[in-house]
Amino acid sequence: MSHTAHIPSHRKPRPQRVTKLRAGVAGGVLSTLAVAGTTGMANAAEPVTETIEMPTLTADLATQVAATADATQQAADAYTLQADKDAAVEQAAKDAKKAKEKAEAKAEAEKKAAERAAKERAARSSERATLSTASSAATAEAPASGSVSAVISFLKAQLGDAYVMGATGPNAWDCSSLVQAAFKQAGVDLPRVSQDQSTVGTEVGTSNLQVGDILYWGGKGSAYHTGVYIGNGQYLDAANPSKGVVIQDLSGYPASGAVRVL
């Protein structure tokens, strides 16, 4: 034992407050840090919460946009369909109008054609009557031969008959069959076709024609049409399908040549 152990010490004991203060400060700091950390963690967690909610919001918005787009497309389709229907109705109306106009035009054309045909038949009947009364005057230009008169009489009896290629009568003729049949009345056998008829008999000039001369158009031996001169600058022939058997003026269709067989 120390010799001073029995002497009370006069050293002041170390204050405990400082330690407690320090502990309190440290605790406060730690608490503050803990609170700050907790707050920081809470603040840091907020973006995570928003990030999680964003896909849900985006999906809803996409659904709304898609629905709006579908509605817009349906409206556009409906408008296009209606426009197509309207166009089809309008086109159908136009087509119907054209068809009606075409039918009316056709009917009018047929009516005019019928009227024209009736007038032509009336004109032929009148021409037959006129020629019948003038028959004696026409045959007066013929030579004093009964054979020529028979030819002319036969030809005039066929006026108004139809022209049909290859036909030989009694109501339809082509040019050469009519000439052949007419001269047969006078006992003259002529070839059947125009080419051969242009080579028979005696060649005469077209400026020195007599009633009963055979006229031809085209070259001699290659003629494509024949008829018979009946006087007064006229000839009788089976002209074509539109005219039939008629009397025509040589001035309107001059012959290439003529032959005389009677």
Most confident option among 18-32, 48-62, 102-116: 102-116
Between residues 76 and 219, the one the model is more confident about: 219
Q: Which CATH class is domain 134-260?
A: alpha beta
Residue 226 has pLDDT above 70, yes or no: yes
pLDDT at site 194: 97
Whether residue 212 has pLDDT greater than 50? yes
Q: What six digits make up the tokens of 165?
A: 């290629």
Mean pLDDT score of the chain: 78
Q: 214 pLDDT exceeds 90?
A: yes
Task: Please state the domain extents for the chain.
Answer: 17-103, 134-260
pTM here is 0.47
165 vs 23, higher pLDDT: 165
